Amino acid sequence: MSSLPGNGRSDVGGAKVSALITQSNYIPWKGYFDAIDRADVFVLYDDAQYTKRDWRNRNRIKTHHGLLWLTIPTLVKGRFLQAVQDTEVADHDWAELHWRTLQHEYARAPWFTEYAPLLDVLYKRSAGLDRLSDVNRLFLGAMCDLLYIHTPMRWSREFTLVGDRNEKLIGMCKDLGVNRYLTGPAARAYLDEDLFRRAGIEVAWIEYAGYPEYEQLHGPFKHSVSIVDLILNEGPAAKDYIKTRTT
């Protein structure tokens, strides 16, 4: 497979073409979209094991009473060995509940009136989806559009995955024709950087620090909330608040 076209990112010694490969999350925080924006291709790694009480099916918003989890109820079978892509939504009433909560807590946000029709459509569409992965991708695509992020998005199931966790990631990078793998600090617990290097792939660690604050509702500023908070408060300027650096 030929290399993807670059998007202006380069290093000394030649152009770098980057892939971000990570599990889908439900309306994730701005750092998730920052990482997508830095990549030339984004792969939703939903072949990975589903984990309960994680970001796959929930995220936080600010409310009058503090931070609140918005959680999509899911069906977990067996001993939690199912993949994210095989995880089904347990109760479709969640979509109406989440949308009512957002309406109540963000009605006074500067850009709520502008984006309410889109969010209404998204939640109505998501109520008809049976799998968590499809719900997440629906919202990820819509939020990327609002943030002017045009990184191509693909599924890990499009690739043949062989070997352990590191080998699967390297295999996807090779199939994509990329020579840089973007990842966050949590991957330091398992990622074998030497193995990537021997495969001709640079590992670039994303540093989630230094984000500027913006005007929020409901008390002291919080960085670790859903991207919906940023979009409803800053509107078209939201992208200016997701930029950080890669080391």
Model pLDDT for residues 165-212, shown as the tens digit of each residue: 999 999 999 999 999 999 999 899 899 999 999 999 999 999 998 999
Residue-level pLDDT at 15: 80
Residue-level pLDDT at 77: 81
Q: How far apart are CA 48 and CA 186, in angstroms?
A: 15
Residue-level pLDDT at 80: 62
Q: How far apart are CA 233 and CA 241, in angstroms?
A: 11
**Three-point CA angle 82, 86, 91, nearest 5°:** 105
**Angstrom distances, CA of residue 80 to CA of 75, 84, 187:** 10, 10, 21
The residues of the chain scoring below 50 in pLDDT are: 1-13, 246-247
Residue-level pLDDT at 52: 85
Structural domain spans, the chain? 10-246
pTM of the model: 0.92
